[in-house]
Amino acid sequence: MSNTNLPHKREERFFEDYIRGAVFVFGPLDVDEDEVLEFARRYDPQPFHIDHDAAKKGPYEGLIASGWQTCAFVMRALVDNYFSPASSLGSPGIDELRWMIPVRPGDKLTVRATIIDTKRSRSKPDRGIVRTFIETLNQRQEIVMSFRSVNFMLCLNISSTDAKD
């Protein structure tokens, strides 16, 4: 299944709207050089993130964005397009975070989210678990980053047998 839109407005989505196998694409996200430098100076001040001359001489042959900034770009896209404020209960973490290709100023990133599994909670029937494989691609369709996310989402439908007294 390949979609660009979830079945309801982001504000109205619940666990039942996240269907295994669905694929969603968000973007483009513009990687601005000033933002790359500002983020790196504040959070990841390694020479290949903050110094043009040092970066040219380094292993990446030029300035690159921090991987953590790439994570931040992706998180923003997911919050704006994928997670619903009506149902999102956060995450216990991510798995298998990989940075494959450096992200550079001027890149245009796209986020592809593929729902790999959904499961209703047995202990808390008002919610479910959504597992998503997240890929970030540059303008050449190269995968620059990937990870697997686990998110808790409220359910819209709670049967009377599920509800606790």
The pLDDT score that the predictor gives to residue 104 is 97
Over residues 73-100, the mean pLDDT reads 93
| More confident call, 137 vs 162 | 137
What would the pLDDT profile of 21-80 be if each residue is shown by its tens digit?
999 999 999 999 999 999 999 999 999 999 999 999 999 999 999 999 999 999 999 999
Confidence check: pLDDT of 163 > 70:
no
Count other C-beta atoms under 10 Å from residue 113's C-beta.
Answer: 23
What's the pTM? 0.86
The pLDDT score that the predictor gives to residue 86 is 87
Count other C-beta atoms under 10 Å from residue 7's C-beta.
Answer: 12
Strand pairing of 23-30 and 127-137?
unpaired
What is the per-residue burial (b if ≥16 Cβ within 10 Å, else e) of 126-153? bbbbbbbbbbbbbeeeeebbbbbbebbb
- Averaged pLDDT score across all residues of the chain: 89
Q: CA-CA distance, 44 to 142, in Å (whole number)?
A: 24
Strand pairing of 93-99 and 108-120?
unpaired
Band (pLDDT 50/70/90 cuts) for residue 11 is: low
Over residues 80-109, the mean pLDDT reads 94
The pLDDT score that the predictor gives to residue 10 is 56
| Annotated domain spans of the chain | 10-154
Confidence check: pLDDT of 3 > 50:
no
CATH class of 10-154: alpha beta
Confidence check: pLDDT of 161 > 60:
no
Band (pLDDT 50/70/90 cuts) for residue 12 is: confident
Q: CA 37 from chain center: how many Å? A: 22
What would the pLDDT profile of 143-158 be if each residue is shown by its tens digit?
999 999 999 999 987 7
Q: Tell me 74's DSSP state.
A: H
Q: What share of the chain is helix, strand, coil (3-state, %, to 5)?
A: 25, 30, 45
Over residues 5-33, the mean pLDDT reads 83
